[in-house]
């Protein structure tokens, strides 16, 4: 068995129901944390009902993930093997910290495997992120701010990251096209961050909402990365426009 799977032996299988996918995992692999509190209003009744029936929500509680989104990253990483022990990872839009939980174990930034290289995980969010062993969080920080960029250069070994992760999303306005446009702009801002901290050959995983500007965003990523593909993890709800771009083999622009 490889060291990678000694850290977090998860393999998602689309033919198996999610509750069976994860029941073999042991609780000791994950840091304890409760999910964010949810307002129980009449307007959210259907949302709460859906949550109560969602097998990924139940699995996140069982495994002490901070929210169900962890399974999206787990599935992507199980398939493409992006997060390796010793890698440096920047998690953009990290709150409440579920993707950082996955990254900490996959890159060994908490040092739980003494035989593997020690990685680094830095999370960023405008919101407060509860502490997590093995991760350094920049709460109340803007991903696009130069001050944030400067702090990342200090925190990352050699000032460079192997992987940029982004599960960022704007506050919903209620207008689908406007929200789509706002998220595309957030994703595009990651190219500025990548130019400062992503090492050549590095990887970017970012959430976007499908829509009219998705192809334009993909074209932008294609100028900076050797390959770009769109993914829809099983943990993403089928009725959601949510998708993820996986961009690999970063080519840092040459200054003229």
| Active-site residue, from 207, 220, 232, 238 | 207
Q: How far is Cα 25 from Cα 62, in angstroms, rounded to an integer? A: 10
Which contacts (CB < 8 Å, 24+ apart) does range 33-42 have?
A: 33/64, 33/65, 33/66, 33/96, 33/97, 33/101, 33/130, 33/132, 34/66, 35/60, 35/61, 35/66, 35/67, 35/96, 36/66, 36/67, 36/96
Residues 6+ apart with CB under 8 A from 95: 123, 125, 127, 128, 129, 139
Q: How far is Cα 25 from Cα 130, in angstroms, rounded to an integer? A: 24
Token digits of residue 15: 């033919």
Catalytic-residue membership of 151 = no
Which residues are marked as active site? 207
């Amino acid at each position: 068995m490889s060291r990678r799977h000694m850290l977090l032996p998860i393999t998602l299988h689309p033919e198996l129901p999610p509750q069976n996918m994860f029941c073999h995992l042991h609780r000791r692999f994950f840091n304890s944390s409760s999910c964010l509190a949810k307002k129980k209003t009449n307007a959210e009744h259907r949302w709460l009902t859906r949550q109560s029936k969602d097998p990924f929500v139940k699995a996140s509680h069982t495994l002490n993930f901070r929210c169900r989104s962890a399974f999206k990253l787990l599935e992507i990483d199980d398939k493409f093997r992006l997060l390796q022990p010793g890698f440096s990872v920047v998690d953009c839009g990290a709150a409440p910290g579920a993707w950082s939980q996955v990254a900490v174990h996959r890159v060994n930034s908490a040092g739980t495997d003494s035989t593997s290289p020690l990685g680094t995980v830095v999370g960023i969010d405008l919101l407060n992120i509860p502490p997590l062993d093995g991760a350094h969080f920049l709460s109340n920080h803007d991903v696009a701010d130069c001050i944030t960029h400067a702090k990342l250069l200090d925190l990352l070994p050699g000032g460079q990251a192997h992987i940029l992760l982004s599960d960022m999303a704007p506050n919903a306005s209620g207008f689908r096209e406007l929200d789509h446009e706002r998220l595309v702009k957030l994703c595009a801002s990651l190219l500025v961050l990548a130019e400062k901290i992503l090492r050549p050959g590095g990887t970017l995983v970012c959430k976007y909402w499908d829509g009219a500007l998705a192809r334009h965003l993909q074209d932008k990523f294609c100028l900076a990365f050797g390959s770009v593909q769109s993914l829809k993890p099983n943990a993403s709800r089928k009725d959601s426009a949510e998708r993820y771009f996986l961009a690999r083999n970063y080519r840092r622009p040459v200054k003229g």
